[in-house]
Structures are given as structure tokens and as C-alpha cells.
Chains A and B, each alone.
Chain A
Amino acid sequence: MSTADTIHAMQERFPDLHLAALPLVTYADGRTSDQLWMRVPAERLLAVAKFLRDDPRTKFEQLCDLTCVDYLGYPGAEDRFGVIYALVSLTHGHRLWLKVFVNDPQPEVPSVTSLWRGAEWPEREVYDMFGVRFTGHPDLRRILLPQNFTAYPLRKDYPLTGQGEREDFEVVTRETA
């Protein structure tokens, strides 16, 4: 079972989505990377993901990683946030990347925690860092930053040095503790 068969199986199952697998990178000399990604619309993500996990031809049992990239100002980008699902098939031993593009002002993606429990914290992290909301997530809170932090630091419009939050932290002294 090669990656091409997997992609063929997907195109067969979802003809209306016009799924196309593209290499993650094309080098200057025309070679392409062996890693493929696919664009999936947010509203169909769960159906596609469920198919990918359960179908014997695809069998992506594990969600290796879930992350997000802010494409604000990226050359050739049309959408702002790309939520990236890195899938691994232990049975067939191959990988596939799904990208779901969402935009301001309400970036929202359905949560895949019902399919892969391992998505729970990575989704919280993406919410924490990019402000992309995952509908249906059991416990969507900030994970690394304080709960009353308001900005989303990994967005491209957030400056490296912060927006003055550092000066705003609660100071605990021996007297007040």
C-alpha cells in the first residue's frame, strides 16, 4: 500500500472535494519532497479524518502532530491560518499532512479529539498560541499561558518582545503571599 493508493482511495471516496496531494516543498532544481499534503475544507474535516483513520486502505491510526501556521504575508498565501494535521499510518508506514485553512475574524475548526485522543493538548496549544477555536473540544482552555492572557503570541502580528504583558504580571511579595 503506497501513499499514491491512499490518495487514490480518498479521491474516490470524496469526489466532490477535488482533493489533490501536493509536495510540501519543491526544490530549486525541480525535485519535489516525498512528503505530501492535502487541502481539506473545515466543514468536511471530520468526515475526511474519520475515513482516513478507519479505511483499511488508508489506516492513519495516529495523529502524530497538530499545529498551525500563520500565513499572514507569506508569499502566495490566500488564507491566514493553516491548521496542519500530521497523520501517521503504523500499518502502512506512511505519512500524510492535512491542511485546513481558516480566516479572521472567527477562525474555527472542528476538533478531532473524538477520533484521536492525542489531539487534546495540541489543539489547546494552537488555541493558546493562535486563537483558532476547536468546536467540540472537551476542555478548550489556554495551556501554556495564563488564563487571563488576551493575545495570541505566535500570530505574525504579535511582536517578538510582547505587548507589555511582562510589566503587567502580578507581583507576589513575602507580605502579600
Chain B
Amino acid sequence: MPISYDLGLKPTTLERDAAHEDRWTLNFGPQHPATHTTLRLVLELEGERVIGCTPDIGFLHSGFEKLGEHLDYNQYVVIVERMNYICPISNDIAWHMAVEKLFGIDITPRCKALRTILAELGRIQDHLLCVGCTGLDLGGFTAFLYGFNERETINDLIEEISGSRFHPSYTRLGGLAQDAPPGWTDKVLDFVRNGVPPALRDVETLLLRNRIFIERTKGIGVIGHDDAINWSLTGPVARGSGVKRDLRKDEPYLCYADNWDGQGATAVDFKVPITYGGDVFARFLVRLEEVRQACRIIEQVVAMLPEGPINVGLDENLTLPNKQEVYYSIEGLIHHFEQVMTNRGWTPPIGEAYFANETANGELGYYVVSDGGRFPWRARTRPPSFINYQVFPKLLVGHQISDVPAVLNSLNIIAAELDR
């Protein structure tokens, strides 16, 4: 029997209930501009009011976690950043932090600082899109363009440091692919000082005192504090409901931790915005403020960016050697082959490790299981989109059909991460 995608979820368009004149069942997606990506909803309507919603996901399932068991610890980074492609660099960092936890290595201060800058750039990248899309989904196209414009600069910055605009694959086990080029940090500083603030001001001027926007976001898609915890929500969605939880503060890593350079440096100073409304507007405000705080973090880290190596464990065969060495010295070449040949490579301990980063969407963690071989035994992603999305039907019931895109966007669902 052929495999079909017929879920028994009818209809494929719009259907009227024979018994109740006002009851309709509407198919929404999988290809619909307001879903942004590929996901399907079957909505039960009473007039224009949503009384039931069944999400149907899996259209982008590509077996990433299975692939992870057949790629080595550096190769899989190419796959993980295709999960949340809105801020791919955050995925890279989270994956390699988990692998480093498994290997038990501590990376160099310069690498930590560069990763912090990139993680915050990723956060800005994601939030700018999400904040802009909040306007877009409610019919205001301009805010979206202001946000998207600045994302281009981030893509340029990431291209300059990694060689690739969109999918950088920049992190490596124990470090980074290469050091930042000279003058890169000045461009980053210029961007967070002169690029982001005007764009944020524009978005705020357009939306924050706009009566239509506020009436369409306030009180829509509400979830309370206790429910948010019980439904495993993390990130801006949880913080919009008053949950005081940010892994950067609660389980500090990189430059968010004190003494990150081993010489007594203090953690970067920033505030975690919390709002208590629990609605679309509250989540919007959290994201706006997080962009500001991310700019603050980047400014501080750039100011105290330490010099020194970016990779650790070169002698223990943990990190790939610098390409300069590989191409121009025989020792470097041997070192490189020792690392990449199929019968050689890493010998991680037999065991398991979990590490989570506070990314733009929430807690992005990887649970890595190793059997001592070159490949992970299991590379589980804790995908914030997937876990946040399960609360969606609950948020929607009782609202109008025109609120569906607003609520969907406020959860910031990335379907590639949802389905993996």
C-alpha cells in the first residue's frame, strides 16, 4: 500500500458542518504565506471564531537526527544549522558546546568571546525578523522591511568571518574554523551602535503606539505563568508570561559566566526583560528589549576581546589544525589526516552529555550520546520550536481566525527545526 499523507484530517479546503450551520472546518497550509514555512493547521470555526485547532507537522522532516549518527562531530554542524535557519550560527555554537561538554574540554577565552558576539548577533538576527513579522502578519509591511534590512548587515558580517552568508558552519570542536579578520570587530561595533538602534526606533515608532497593532496583539494568545512552565515553554515565550528563566543567567556559559577567561574577568552585564501579559504583545516587547540588551553585550565583549589562540587541544588531536599549516607544512598535513581519516579521529569518552544555550527561540540543547567512536551514537536536539509549538492550539481557541498568524508568529515557529 502506498504511503500517503492523508491523516484523516479533512478537508483540504473549507467544509461546512451539516448539522450546525455556523460550523466550518478550514484547512490552513501547508503552503500559505501566513505560516511563513511549511506547516498545516486544521481549524474548526464557528463563524469567524476558532473553536478547535489541530496542527499537522512533519512536512519538512528530513531525518536530521538519524544523519547525526552517521556524521562526525564536525560534519554534523552543517546539518544542525539548517534547523533554525533564521539564526544558523546559534545552532552551530549550541551543538559544539554540547560536544565539548562530552569531551570535557574548555575552550580558549578568545574563542568564548567570539562565540558570545556571534550568539548575540544570531539573537538580533532572529528577533529582528520575528519583531518585523509581527507587523507583517497584521498587515503592516514596513516594520518587516526595517527589520529585514538590518539582517542583511548581519549576513555580511557572518560572511566576512566565516566565508558563507547564510549557513556559516563556523564552529569546530574545540574552537572556530578561523580567527576573525582584522577590522571585523569595528564593523560589528558600528552595526550595534549605528545600525540596530535606528531600525528598532523605526519599528517602535510604527507599532508601539499604533492602536490597531495594540488592539490586535494585547490579550491575544494568552498563557499564564504556571501553564508556561508546565508546557515546557522557554525563551521569550516563557519570559512574556513572567517566567524568570534565562540560561545565560541561570546556567551561565561563555562570557555570561564570571571568570570566563580564567583570569578573573567579570560576566557581561545585561538585563533579562520579563513581561507579565503572556500575550502576543508581551512577547513582542520581550524580543524588542532583548535586541537592545544583545547590542549592549556585544559592545562589552568587543571592548574586552582577548588576544590569543582560538583553538584548544591541537596536540591532543582534538581540533583540526589551521589551514595555513595543513597546506604549507608536512606536520600540519599529517595532523590533519590523523584527524579526518576514517580509521582515526576522535576518541571521546563513552557517555552522554547535555548542553543547552539560550538562543533566540528558547532553550536549544543537544543531548549527545557517544560509544567512543568517531560518530555520535545519538545526537538529540531539544528543539525550542517543537516544544513551544505544542501549546499553540491552546493559545488559539476562542480567538478570531485573523489572529492565527499573529499567535503563530509570536511563538516564532521555524518549521525546519520543528520537523528536523
Interface residues of A (CB under 8 A from B): 23-28, 31, 33, 35, 37, 61-65, 67, 69-70, 74-76, 84, 86, 90, 93, 95, 97, 116-122, 125, 129, 142-149, 153-154, 158, 160, 165, 168-171
The residue on B at minimum CB distance from A24 is: B352
The residue on A at minimum CB distance from B56 is: A143
* 8 A-B pairs with least C-beta separation: A118-B232, A25-B351, A144-B58, A170-B4, A121-B390, A27-B104, A65-B382, A144-B61
The residue on B at minimum CB distance from A93 is: B250
Partner of B352, one of A25, A119, A143: A25
* Sampled A-B contacts (22; CB under 8 Å): A24-B351, A25-B102, A25-B353, A27-B104, A27-B349, A33-B353, A61-B230, A62-B229, A64-B382, A65-B367, A70-B378, A86-B367, A90-B244, A93-B251, A117-B230, A144-B57, A145-B58, A147-B6, A160-B70, A165-B3, A170-B4, A170-B5
Q: How far is the CB of B79 from chain A (nearest CB, A)?
A: 13
Q: Which of B8, B58, B354 has the most CB of A within 10 A?
A: B354
Q: List 9 additional A-B contacts (Cβ < 8 Å) besides A86-B354, A160-B69.
A: A25-B351, A26-B351, A33-B101, A62-B230, A75-B350, A90-B229, A118-B390, A121-B390, A154-B65
The residue on B at minimum CB distance from A61 is: B229
By the criterion CB–CB under 8 Å, are A90 and B230 in contact?
A: no
Partner of A145, one of B2, B61, B234: B61
By the criterion CB–CB under 8 Å, are B1 and A35 in contact?
A: no
By the criterion CB–CB under 8 Å, are B354 and A62 in contact?
A: no
Interface residues of B (CB under 8 A from A): 1-8, 57-58, 61, 63, 65-67, 69-70, 101-104, 227, 229-234, 243-245, 250-251, 349-354, 356, 363, 365, 367, 369-372, 377-378, 380, 382, 386-387, 389-390, 419-420
CA distance A169 to B2 in the complex (A): 5
The residue on B at minimum CB distance from A121 is: B390
Q: How far is the CB of A70 from chain B (nearest CB, A)?
A: 8
The residue on B at minimum CB distance from A120 is: B390
By the criterion CB–CB under 8 Å, are A74 and B371 in contact?
A: yes
Tell me which residues across on chain A come within 8 A of B65, comparing CB atoms. Answer: 129, 154
Partner of A121, one of B8, B230, B370, B386: B386
